[in-house]
Chains A and B, each alone.
Chain A
């Protein structure tokens, strides 16, 4: 009865509904885009009415919000933070810098395409995106979760070697080891 496909479907719907309406966000303020997070969360745009609220530590978070360019030094920390988060977890890439490098395209110490290092579920484009766009992005993510398509974490686990190889290219010997998936 419990392992029956239909009952699993009902459980999935309930779980996805809960996940969709309760997103704890860990905002990793790396780039200049981080300045748009406070207005998104506070009185003016009030993301809390969608169930989006800040989380204090990676352990409690569901969404990792990467707000802008990532230097190679930061990438290591971001990877560690991402791996400390508990499943199911999602990543939002915020600003053009996470999509293709943006205006740091030819910088010597930033990474360009975030998706090569961490599985990004939703991109929000713009340099920098306005709070309306951020909320729009969150709502897209909610839709994806409800449809069960926000599978970034699963993808990461399955293709860990590929991600690790990419991470190794920029991080060199300081790349986290595969065994240390759960910190």
Chain B
């Protein structure tokens, strides 16, 4: 019985993540359009796009890894989602969280990108290869401040469990204010994680013909799009859990995640694209300094 409820809850979690993530992407497109003084597509445009993409026929074959790449992305985003507590102290969205899940998530989050790198490499498209090298270098860039921020919190509160961190925030107030340096470092790392401009060097459509996904069309692209939106929601929820104490109900969760989502979106709207080395230099500059400062702070306090 317990197992059944957990399974149903997991499915519900994934569906909610898909719907919300897609909606956020749609709102992003609408806001982008308004900023550029356009009318823009309706906010549900992304659902239509996804429906069309999965109803397309796909008959491209480059090898096994190419077929597996979207599955890797999907597994990584859904798996990460299931390990993150969606709501605080509720039995509705059960999750698989356990002690030490923060470290596990750190590793699991990159699985999708690595699988995608293998798959895109097999398509043999030179644009894909360039996109992969850029993507992995960028990952090396933003992972450092991100990991530093997380480690700072682990040191500060002597725990590696997300639920524990959430419980601690119930008593001491949001971690955002308890360790603001870690929060800043993590937010700057988030800019890279979302890959909006100026960090859209991986899929740069004008330059690389959309990079790693250039040989993927139809159903594969649809899968990638869905997994991307699930992953967006996952990351936002993780940030809310870690820095804003988690949400007690879904409305609060939506408000908090959307507020966080506005940061990379609005920052992207006013910035042109970086070159690869500029992007990495950016992450190894102030974000890393902030991360180091957060580490020192958490040890000293």
Contact A86 B218 (CB under 8 A): yes
| Surface stretch bound by A, among B11-19, B49-57, B176-184, B268-276 | B49-57
- Across the two chains, which residue of chain A brings its CB closest to B47? A18
A161 proximal to B (CB < 8 A): no
Residue of B nearest to A183 (CB): B60
| Bitwise interface map of B from 101 to 123 toward A, beta carbon under 8 Å scored 1, else 0 | 00000000000000000000000
Do B36 and A43 touch across chains, with their CB atoms under 8 A apart? yes
Contact A86/B56 with A54-B205, A60-B216 known, Cβ cut-off 8 Å: yes
Closest Cβ of chain B: how far from A61's Cβ, in Å? Answer: 8
Partner-binding segment picked from A45-53, A103-111, A113-121: A45-53
> Which residue on chain B has the smallest CB distance to residue A21?
B48
Contact A57 B215 (CB under 8 A): yes
Cβ of A88 and Cβ of B56 under 8 Å apart?
yes
> Does B255 sit at the interface, judged by CB under 8 A?
no
Alpha-carbon gap, A22 to B216, bound state (A): 17
B205/A46 in contact, CB under 8 A: no
B289 interface residue, CB < 8 Å from A? no
B215–A18 touching, CB < 8 Å:
no
A159 within 8 A of B: no
Q: Report chain A residues within 8 Å CB of B127.
A: 57
Return the contact of A60 from the options B37, B40, B57, B221 (Cβ within 8 A): B221
* A56 on the B face (CB < 8 A): yes
CB of B252 within 8 Å of the partner chain: no
Are A59 and B217 touching (Cβ within 8 A)? yes
CA distance A62 to B56 in the complex (A): 9
Nearest residue, chain B, Cβ from A58: B217
Category for how many chain B residues contact A: 20 to 34
Q: Mark B227-244, 1 if CB is under 8 A from A, else 0.
A: 000000000000000000
Contact assessment for A59 and B60 in the assembled complex, using a CB-CB cutoff below 8 Å: yes
Please, how many angstroms separate the alpha-carbon atoms of A22 and B39 in the complex? 16
Enumerate A39-94 residues with CB–CB distance to B below 8 Å: 42-43, 46, 48-49, 51, 53-54, 56-62, 85-88
Report the minimal beta-carbon distance from A59 to chain B, rounded to whole angstroms.
Answer: 3
Q: Is A22 a contact partner of B58 (Cβ separation < 8 A)? A: no
Q: Tell me the nearest residue of chain A to B57, going by C-beta.
A: A87
Known: A49-B39, A49-B40. A88 touches B57 (CB 8 A): yes
Q: Which of B33, B56, B221 contacts A48 (CB 8 A)?
A: B33
8 Å CB contact of B38 from A21, A43, A57: A43
Q: Kindly identify which residue among B36, B51, B56, B209 contacts A56, using a CB–CB cutoff of 8 Å.
A: B209
Question: Does A15 lie at the interface of the complex (its beta carbon under 8 Å from any beta carbon of B)?
Answer: yes
A61 to B49, CA, bound (A): 12
B143 to chain A, nearest CB (A): 27
Task: Tell me which residues across on chain A come within 8 A of B171, comparing CB atoms.
Answer: none
Are B57 and A48 in contact (CB-based, < 8 A)?
A: no
Instruction: Check A59–B52 contact: CB distance below 8 A.
Output: no
Judging by beta carbons under 8 Å apart, are B57 and A49 in contact?
no
Instruction: Return chain B residues, CB-CB under 8 Å to A15.
Output: 51-52, 55
Partner of B215, one of A14, A59, A88, A182: A59
Is A49 touching B221 in the complex (CB atoms < 8 A)?
A: no
Q: Given the complex of chains A and B, what is the CA–CA distance between A97 and B110 in angstroms?
A: 50
B19-59 residues with Cβ-Cβ distance < 8 A to A are: 29, 33, 36-42, 45, 48-49, 51-53, 55-59
- Chain B hits for A48, CB < 8 A: 29, 33, 38, 40-41
Query: Given A57-B209, A61-B217, 13 other A-B contacts at CB below 8 A?
Result: A46-B40, A48-B29, A48-B33, A48-B41, A49-B38, A53-B41, A56-B205, A57-B215, A57-B217, A59-B217, A59-B221, A60-B213, A62-B52
Could you list 27 A-B pairs, sorted by A, with CB under 8 Å? A15-B55, A17-B48, A18-B48, A18-B51, A18-B52, A18-B55, A19-B55, A22-B48, A22-B49, A42-B36, A42-B38, A46-B39, A48-B40, A49-B33, A49-B41, A51-B41, A56-B205, A56-B210, A57-B209, A57-B217, A59-B215, A60-B210, A60-B213, A60-B216, A62-B56, A86-B56, A86-B217
